Amino acid sequence: MTAPLADPLPHEELGASWRSGRPRPAGRHLDSAACSRQSHRALEAAAHHARHEAELGGYVAEAAADDLLQQGRSVLGGLVGMAAADVAFVESAQAALVALLTGWRLSPGSRVACLPGEYAPNVAQLRTYGLRPEPLPVDGIGRADVDAVARLLADDPPRFVHLTHIGSHRGLLQPAGEIAALCREAGVPLVLDAAQSLGHTDVDLGADVVYSTSRKWLAGPRGVGVLCVRPALAAQLTPVLPEPEGEPPMRAFESGEAHVAGRVGLVVAVGDHLAAGPDRVRARLAALGRATRELLDDVGGWKVVEPVDEPTATTTLRPPEGVDVVDARRRLLVDHGIVASAIGAERAPGELTGPVLRISPHLDASVEDLEALAAAL
């Protein structure tokens, strides 16, 4: 039996509207850190554009959607503190990092400071481009130690800092605003991986580069991402092909063979996010995270990793002795209709010592959903 929650969830009307604006789930979806559920509006917008491609031709349909896409660049830029000209649509967060590193053309052996618990594919990309990842100093739970980072930047600055705002393996929020201020003072660029934070927490924090994906907390289609780069750093990038005549330099990083219907769906999903109110979204997501931790810690021997009041909706659970996380995730889905993620240690080998179960509810989740998960565990 689980203890009652200390506080009720805020903005229940927001949860209700988010729920009613989407197809009814087949079970209990608590896996938005993997892929959120799209709204009817986003689904219909993408389908409408795909139909236009069939009726008009792909490039004619894309030209017809140009104003909407430009509005999307403007709004996405606003969410990260940049302008429409600073935003490029790409295919994923990983594609954004690849585009950035391809264009930056840094000298092999250049040092890049990143968290010890950095997402393994990010580290692999850095090494592919000949860069040398080195650890940022962190505290006992893996959060960047701001004072120690200040000393690092003063004494032995790297070529740039790469900071994953919220990890995919742990719901810790990194102090990106403080790190951005330190980097700016030291003249060291900050690249912010916001794949798990755009639409989840505030990302208008002063980073030089912000990149993210559509499918997680913004609840847009899969196969779309964004790369946002401030003009001073964009001027250092050399794209493989020059930008189209009369277009901003970042447009050169957009593929001409793009999933334009997905971009249209993302723009509509961002509109849903703004209509919900980013501040209210953050407050409810943080409350859902707290409720998850309060209800699940020590249930069935599972242990919550994050501090209970961490202001994110992502919670990871260490399994009891002898419990296989992959099998537990499968049984949650098959036996109880609960969607969650099994996260292997290979996701962040510098920090994880074993697999964890990740729970990441979105706005439409309820206390009943969390209680059902607790009962299943």
- DSSP codes joined into one string, 239-260: -SSPPPTTS-GGGGGS-SS--H
Structure-token pair, residue 308: 């209970």
Q: Is 283 helix (H, G, I), strand (E, B) or coil?
A: helix
Domain 12-30+277-376: CATH superfamily, name plus number? Aspartate Aminotransferase, domain 1 (3.90.1150.10)
41/64 Cα distance (integer angstroms): 19
The answer to whether 311 and 78 are in contact (CB under 8 A) is no
Write down the pLDDT at residue 2: 57
Stretch 213-218: mean pLDDT: 98
The owner of tokens 């903005």 is 11
Model-level pTM? 0.97
What's the mean per-residue pLDDT of the chain?
96
Percent of the chain with pLDDT over 90: 95
Instruction: Assess whether pLDDT exceeds 70 at residue 6.
Output: no
Choices 3.40.50.2300, 3.40.640.10, 3.30.300.30, 3.40.1360.10: CATH for 42-275: 3.40.640.10
Please tell me whether residue 17 adopts helix, strand or coil conformation: helix
Span 110-115, mean pLDDT? 98
Please tell me the predicted confidence (pLDDT) of residue 40: 98
Instruction: Quote the percentage of the chain above a pLDDT of 70.
Output: 98
Length of the chain counted residue by residue: 377
pLDDT tens digits along 269-296: 999 999 999 999 999 999 999 999 999 9
* Per-residue pLDDT reduced to its tens digit, 362-373: 999 999 999 999
pLDDT of residue 178: 98
User: Distance (Å, rounded) from C-alpha 46 to C-alpha 65?
Assistant: 11
Stretch 55-78: mean pLDDT: 97
Determine the Cα–Cα distance for residues 109 and 279; give it in Å rounded to an integer.
Answer: 41
The pLDDT assigned to 246 comes to 86
Domain extents in the chain:
12-30+277-376, 42-275
